[in-house]
Amino acid sequence: MLSGVIVKALSGYYYVRSSDGDVDEETVQCRARGIFKKRGESPLVGDRVRYSLTENGEGTVEELLPRTSELIRPPVANVDLAILVFSVSEPDLNLQLLDKFLVHIEHAGIPALLCLSKQDLEEEGEETAEAKAAAESVNRIYGALGYEVFGTSSRKGDGVEQLQERLRGHLAVFAGQSGVGKSSLLNAIVPGLDLETNEISSRLGRGKHTTRHVELINIGGGLVADTPGFSQLDFHELGIQDLSYCFVEMRELSPSCKFRGCTHVHEPGCAVIAAVGEGTVAKSRYDHYLLFMEEMKDTKRRY
């Protein structure tokens, strides 16, 4: 059997690129063996697989090799770096949504870096002061937590080369709010890629979902999964007890709490609540934690 990586999944087919071949070589269109469905397994883009060739030049995925990571939304395996793309304007920077993305990425155990796109609009738009303040708050709050923050402009090319170099050697996923310029950024990183992009809707303040499926893109020394945009995320795969672990600062402070299993909501001697009062934990992050906690409780009650 041959070894390869699934680089695209579409309409029941899996497109596999040989592990031994050139990254630009043709992929083999494969079907998956029926045994996967019986086991409740589903091949994902990014999966390392063993496959066989059929007489008609297509192939069959025979075996899925062990995964190092797995994302449910977007459905990608073996990602080792997540780039969360948020614009400084059009649409406005949404820290609540950013924290929700970080919760999911932390839960998956994948290192994340933040990319603030459309930096050129910050200079030209009417909301310059607000956009600059938002960008500064991201650098202040999330930089202190150890997250790398990149500023980019797809139109001007600012920060694009530095981001491409950071992606070298990784299988990375681009994720973020719809309309923030993920496809434009990838087009800037890989000239001639020509991913479909759409303008922001002025009425809704968000972009249309321009990416219809997950596909791995060779960016020269690394692979990036271009994924469908998101309008919302939920916490179905996350337990309430896991939530605080997904906030870096709470994970570090939890051992100092008076009570084991502290929820950081009302307990006396809580190190997290004390840190919020002292200003060493950002109040916006703590407020989002409480909001997500309530959202998860509501979801549990409904189901």
Q: How confident is the model at residue 203 (pLDDT cuts 50, 70, 90)?
A: very low
pLDDT at 182 over 50: yes
Q: Is the predicted pLDDT of residue 120 greater than 60, yes or no?
A: no
Residue 176 annotated as binding site: yes
272 annotated as belonging to a binding site for a ligand: no
Calculate the CA 77 to chain-centre distance: 12
- Residue 181, marked binder: yes
Q: Which residue has the higher pLDDT, 31 or 188?
A: 31
The answer to whether 118 is annotated as binding is yes
Q: Is 30 annotated as a binding residue?
A: no
Spatial distance between the Cα atoms of 190 and 71, rounded to a whole number of angstroms? 24
What is the tens place of the pLDDT at every residue in 75-111?
Answer: 889 999 998 988 877 667 889 999 999 998 898 889 9
244 is in an annotated binding site: no
The pLDDT of residue 70 is: 86
Does 270 count as an annotated binding residue? yes
**Binning pLDDT at 50, 70 and 90, where does residue 126 land?**
very low
Task: State the average pLDDT over residues 192-206.
Answer: 47
Structure token pair of residue 56? 């008609």
Buried b (16+ CB within 10 A) or exposed e, 157-178: eebbeebbebbeebbbbbbbbb
pTM for the predicted model, two decimal places: 0.80
119 is in an annotated binding site: yes
* pLDDT at 234 (0 to 100): 65
117 has binding-site annotation: yes
- Confirm whether residue 178 is marked as ligand binding: yes
Arithmetic mean of pLDDT, 207-221: 67
Q: Between these two residues, 209 and 150, which has the higher pLDDT value?
A: 150
Q: Which two tokens stand for residue 130?
A: 């607000």
Q: What letter represents residue 125's amino acid?
A: G
Q: Are 219 and 160 in contact (CB under 8 A)?
A: no
Q: Residue 32 above 90 pLDDT?
A: yes
What percent of the chain shows pLDDT beyond 70? Answer: 80
Q: Which tokens is 197 given?
A: 């992009």
**What is residue 211's predicted lDDT score, i.e. its pLDDT?**
47
Domains and CATH numbers, the chain: 2-65 (2.40.50.140), 76-226 (3.40.50.300), 240-302 (1.10.40.50)
The residue-averaged pLDDT of 286-300 equals 90
262 is in an annotated binding site: yes
Residue 137 assigned ligand-binding role: no
Q: How far is CA 119 from CA 124, 153, 220, in A?
A: 9, 5, 24
Query: Is 257 known as a binding-site position?
Result: yes
Whole-angstrom distance, CA of residue 70 vs CA of residue 80 = 10
